[in-house]
Amino acid sequence: NFKNLIAVPNPSHIQGVSIASLADQFGTPLYLYDGDKISSQVKILQQAFAATPLKIKYATKALSNINVLKLIRKAGAGVDAVSIEEVKLCMMAGYTAEEIMYTPSGVSFEEIQEAVAMGIMINLDSMPLMEQFGEKYGNTMPACIRINPHIMAGGNLKISTGHSESKFGISIEQLPAILAIVEKYKLQIVGLHIHTGSDILDAEVFLKGGNVLFEAAIQFSDLKFLDFGGGFKVAYKPGDIATDIMEVGKKVGEAFQAFCQRYGRQLELWLEPGKFLVSEAGYLLVKANVVKESPSVTFAGVDTGLNHLIRPMMYDAYHGLYNLSNPDGEKRKYNVVGYICETDTIAAHRELNEIKIGDLLVIKNAGAYGYSMASNYNSRLRPAEVMILDGKAHLIRKRESFEDLIRNQETLEF
């Protein structure tokens, strides 16, 4: 299976805009998003499932800048939100209530009520929540149920969400009890949902998940859609194989259409991709502050760290990076490290073109779970975000200021 082996490029320009010029204009560290790439990813997914009635519900949590949300809506997708704040962001970005699905995990019932009042569909994640929902709304509000399919899949355990010990969803083994609650409150269940995890390579995993959905779905009479979640694997490393989305579209689409025949009604197939739509479109542009030789390692210290991109530390994730300032330089081995008082290694023992103080480095695949997982640790400020659209760079979020950092602190007099 080499057809999806990706040669990951090291661009000096995005849509004709020089990345170095963006550092001059906006400073570093800087998050950059290729807007056209995001729109084209939506199109690719739509094409892969062209034979199936598809609804894309972008996983807002991956990258939630309002302009990115607007762009994805323009490309024809809806959204999946996981907090009431994400719901509100999506509304601000122009999504109608019908275009938003709310998939909370263990939130208060007040938050559920707030979303329902906005007309948003809830993806029910536990039986106690189904009961509360039934008590309050009976059959008046359509809802979805999140099933835990007991499938172990995904790049690592931290991002595997569909196995039997995962906190997410209601175990497929509890289906009879689920049905009893639906019956008791005459719940209007219009969708069933699974999400098995992130970084899933094989079409087989989605088919396996589909089979769990189909066997459950046959017991429900009001369904309008089945939601297969997200999790398509993108290429992070040179030589990585990404999910063959055309193969998934064909195989899952066919299995789905066959199920609809059996069900006796055409349903919609929903997907909730995050990484697939935005990972490769994002870059974190940083500057080398220090180059330090020790007897065994050469460190390149950059003006970012786990506060801006936590994936390498949290998931041991590999992010490609390159020296933008020295494209033809000699190769040397570096540990690229952050400026946070933690061991925030961004890349270990990496061959890179020789780095000098002041060089610009580009960290790739920073679109998904980059800015959205950033923090103010070490009292550092979050970077600015820039989106390139139709060959023009737009500032879509200002760099934080010291005032932003202290805004909500109260200073006691003592």
Site string for ligand LLP, 60-79 (x = CB under 6 A): --x-----------------
Between 17 and 241, name the residue whose CB sits nearer to ligand LLP.
Answer: 241
As a three-state string, the secondary structure of 116-150 is HHCCCEEEECCHHHHHHHHHHHCCCCCEEEEEECC
What is the distance between the alpha carbons of residues 120 and 258, in angstroms, rounded to a whole number? 30
150: left (phi over 0), alpha (psi -120 to 50) or beta: left
Active-site positions read 341
Q: For the segment 145-164, give every residue that binds ligand LLP (CB under 6 A).
A: 159, 161
Going from the C-alpha of 265 to that of each of 10, 147, 252, the distances in angstroms are 47, 21, 17
Q: For the segment 329-358, give every residue that binds ligand LLP (CB under 6 A).
A: none
Between 63 and 384, name the residue whose CB sits nearer to ligand LLP.
Answer: 63
What is the distance between the alpha carbons of residues 171 and 176, in angstroms, rounded to a whole number? 11
Alpha helices in 293-345 (DSSP H): 311-315
Helix (H) or strand (E) holding 405: helix 402-406
End-to-end CA distance of the chain: 68
Known binding residue 332? Answer is: no
Q: Is 369 in the site for ligand LLP (CB under 6 A)?
A: yes
Q: Is 198 in the site for ligand LLP (CB under 6 A)?
A: yes
Which one of residues 195, 287, 319, 350 is an interface residue with ligand LLP (CB under 6 A)? 195
Known binding residue 369? Answer is: yes
The window from 218-226, 229-237, 344-352, 354-362 that contacts ligand LLP (CB under 6 A) reads: 229-237
Backbone torsions φ then ψ of 78, nearest 5 degrees:
-100, -165
Q: Is 312 in the site for ligand LLP (CB under 6 A)?
A: no
Q: Is 240 in the site for ligand LLP (CB under 6 A)?
A: no
Give 30: exposed, middle or buried? Use CB within 10 Å, 0-12, 13-18, 19+. Answer: buried
Q: Is 301 in the site for ligand LLP (CB under 6 A)?
A: no
| Spatial contact of 253 and 51, defined as CB atoms under 8 Å apart | yes
Which one of residues 78, 231, 338, 383 is an interface residue with ligand LLP (CB under 6 A)? 231
Structure tokens at 260: 């609809």
The window from 64-72, 227-235, 356-364, 383-391 that contacts ligand LLP (CB under 6 A) reads: 227-235
* Least distance between ligand LLP and beta carbon 402 (Å): 28
Please state the residue numbers annotated as binding site for substrate.
311, 315, 342, 369
Kindly list the residues in this chain that would bind ligand LLP in the complex (CB under 6 A).
59, 62, 80, 103, 159, 161, 195, 198, 229-232, 272-276, 311, 315, 368-369
